[in-house]
Amino acid sequence: MGNIAFYKYQGTGNDFIMIDDRKETFDLDDHGFIAHLCHRKFGIGADGLILIRNYQEADFEMIYYNADGHLTSLCGNGSRCAVMFAHQLGVVKNTCKFMTVEGILEASIEHDQVFLKMPDVKAVEIHENYYFLNTGSPHHICHVNDVKTHDVYADGKKIRNGAPYFEVGTNVNFVQENSEDQIFVRTYERGVEDETLSCGTGVTAAALVQGLRGAKSPISVTTLGGDLQVKFEKISDGGYKNIYLIGPAKKVFSGTIPK
């Protein structure tokens, strides 16, 4: 059967199985096996799995699966880890362009910090008790008084599957505003179906909402897994451009596992 070589990376506690698949030997349709690899009791354990492949129009392609074994929307922390992984493989140097489900993105590395240029955001929906926007993945943003004691799992699961999202679902972010330019974010992630220690697209979404509420770039964001920073420029029609998600991405360990 043979073995698969893997690497484990984490970006502020959001952890991923990384596989160098430039020879294209990994079965992209074996969703059960991918979910098995991500299982924390019976597999390696991770919030998601990322394949690195060659791509003619960019330095590499990143293919991302949620922990449930299915392809999904953009993962910000996963993208930062993919950039660091490609760098440590020698695929890229300190700057790169890579293909994602959202198209080609740009990134750079300064020491252990990855600066990921996120997709532009056209608009933020303002509702009575929450905000909604898409930063490559859909995000529901609501503010709470004490995010550390908030029941993120129960409330996140309810919102994720409820109106108006239903089958499509959404990621759910609970935000505590410590100051105008400093927030604490906890996230319930669809596909993982649980709280993760950090969510890059969620952190970005929460920071952009702070911009809508009057804060100036950059926004410092605390998560359970560590600290990130988000920079952005406002567009006159209510959108955002030149959005950067900035934070560490680190190798944890490597090994092999039977196919």
User: What CATH number does residue 14 fall under?
Assistant: 3.10.310.10
Pair (95, 10) in one structural domain: yes
- Whether pLDDT at 1 is above 70: no
- How many domains, in total, are found in the chain? 2
Confidence band for 237, pLDDT divided at 50, 70 and 90: confident
Annotated catalytic residues are: 75, 199
Pair (88, 167) in one structural domain: no
Mean pLDDT for 220-240 is 95
pLDDT in tens, 169-212: 999 999 999 999 999 999 999 999 999 999 999 999 999 999 99
Pair (44, 101) in one structural domain: yes
- Nearest in space to 233 (alpha carbons), one of 141, 157, 120, 150: 120
Going through 12-71 in order, the beta strands assigned E by DSSP cover 14-20, 48-53, 60-66
Pair (64, 103) in one structural domain: yes
Give the pair of three-digit tokens for residue 217: 């770039």
Chain-centroid distance of CA 233 in Å reads: 20
- Whether 78 contacts 50, CB under 8 Å: yes
Residue 120, domain member (yes or no): no
Phi, psi (rounded to 5 degrees) for 105: -110, 160
The structure's pTM equals 0.96
- Burial class of residue 82, CB neighbours in 10 A (0-12, 13-18, 19+): buried
Pair (129, 239) in one structural domain: yes
CB atoms within 10 A of CB 16: 30
Mean pLDDT for 225-234 is 98
- State the Rg of the chain over Cα: 18
Pair (170, 199) in one structural domain: yes
Q: Which domain holds residue 103?
A: 3-109+249-258
Residue 202, domain member (yes or no): yes
